[in-house]
């Protein structure tokens, strides 16, 4: 090889080396960043306990009350029972008086040391007087925890143009207005005590636009933004606000009866929520303040979606899923009609 060729090779090598080194460094940094994030999510989801596992920070076993909306079934009922077990007195808030009485009797029998109160309100039709009565009923209590659990979805997936107006109105009234008004009634009581916990039960539909559940999806997106804003407002008062990001749980709302690794029973789900308060878990790197995805499989799914981006693919997939659910639901209704 001629000396000129050797010199050209050497010069070429030196010219390429900085770029190669830079690319290797970028690749190594990216891998390190992904590994750190994955480890962080894993530790929060499976190892690290929440900021107050015993819930004493919020008044457990100190005479404080937990207010739970939608408290006669599913997730809400489980929150009531597990908060009573943790040492709270419980105010059960729901529409049906008979179910309220039955749930209160069951709760008192299981946890006699926990005082139980009930308040009946139909959040779909509630007016200012109804909310004033609720506020009055809570005003004399030391409220340490509020669980805004009450919620409504569509009867079956449907395009907006096919969605009944009354269904849309009820979804907004229950998912948005009720959360605002109940929270507004409770927050002054928590500020007075300089502590509190507000859990707003969210949904993956609030993070991923969900065609054919557009109204429901929009209300859950509202809860995410509301929780982030309210959490920043109230942290100066030692009040924790958390949107609990939820995939599916067996319940009347989800219409799923059989539990699985992705669809836990309400009792299992609530245990994970209460054990991980203050930890974002799967929502750790999703740029959603005051949001937690605590249940282990939901956490991993949320983190995976964050890695790949919450773009049009997930929206299109959700659209296809809901079209299939609607098709099967209509066939079921047709068979019943026959």
Please list the active-site residues: 216
Task: Output the CA torsion sign for 314, 316, 319, 324.
Answer: negative
Q: How many other C-beta atoms lie within 10 A of the C-beta of residue 319? A: 17
Task: Specify whether the CB–CB gap between 147 and 201 falls below 8 A.
Answer: yes
CA distance 158 to 324: 11
Residue 203 marked as a ligand binder: yes
Radius of gyration of the chain (CA): 25
d(CA 54, CA 34): 32
Asked if residues 198 and 273 have their Cβ atoms less than 8 Å apart, the reply is no
Strand (E) or helix (H) holding 23: helix 3-46
* Residues 226 and 173 sit within 8 Å (Cβ to Cβ): no
Is residue 94 within 8 Å of residue 107, measured between CB atoms? Answer: no
Q: If you ran DSSP here, which 8-state letter would residue 236 be given?
A: G
Q: How far apart are the first and last CA of the chain?
A: 89
The DSSP output letter for 126 is -
Phi-psi bin for 87: left (phi > 0), alpha (psi -120 to 50), beta? Answer: left
* 49: β partners: none
| 65 in Cβ contact with 88 (< 8 Å) | yes
Backbone angles phi, psi at 147, to 5 degrees: -115, 105
Query: Which residues fall in the annotated binding site?
Result: 203
Query: Which residues fall in the annotated binding site for substrate?
Result: 203
């Amino acid at each position: 090889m001629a000396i000129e060729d050797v010199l050209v090779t050497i010069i070429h090598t030196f010219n390429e080396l900085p770029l190669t080194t830079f690319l290797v460094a970028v690749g190594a940094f990216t891998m390190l960043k992904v590994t750190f994030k994955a480890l962080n999510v894993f530790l929060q989801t499976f190892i690290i306990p929440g900021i107050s596992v015993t819930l004493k920070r919020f008044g457990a076993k100190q005479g404080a009350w937990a207010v739970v909306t939608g408290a006669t079934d599913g997730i809400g009922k489980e929150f009531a029972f597990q908060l009573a077990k943790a040492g709270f007195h419980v105010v059960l808030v729901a529409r049906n008086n008979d179910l309220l009485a039955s749930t209160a009797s069951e709760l008192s029998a299981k946890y006699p040391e926990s005082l139980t109160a009930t308040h009946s309100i139909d959040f779909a039709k509630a007016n200012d007087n109804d909310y004033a009565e609720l506020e009055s009923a809570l005003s004399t209590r030391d409220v340490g925890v509020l669980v805004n659990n009450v919620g409504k979805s569509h009867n079956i997936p449907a395009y907006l143009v096919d969605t009944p107006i009354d269904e849309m109105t009820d979804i907004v009234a229950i998912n948005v207005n009720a959360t605002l008004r109940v929270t507004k009634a409770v927050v002054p009581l928590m500020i007075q005590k300089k502590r509190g916990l507000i859990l707003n039960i969210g949904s993956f539909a609030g993070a991923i636009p969900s065609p054919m559940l557009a109204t429901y999806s929009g209300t859950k997106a509202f809860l995410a933004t509301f929780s982030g804003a309210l959490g920043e407002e109230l942290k100066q008062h030692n009040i924790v606000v958390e949107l609990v990001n939820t995939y599916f749980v067996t319940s009347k709302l989800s219409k799923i009866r059989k539990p699985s690794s992705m669809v836990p029973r309400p009792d299992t789900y609530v245990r994970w929520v209460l054990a991980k308060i203050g930890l974002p878990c799967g929502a750790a790197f999703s740029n959603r303040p005051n949001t937690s995805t605590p249940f282990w499989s939901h956490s991993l799914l949320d983190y995976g979606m964050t890695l790949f981006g919450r773009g049009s693919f997930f929206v299109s997939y959700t659209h296809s899923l809901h079209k299939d659910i609607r098709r099967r639901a209509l066939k079921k209704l047709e068979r019943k009609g026959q």
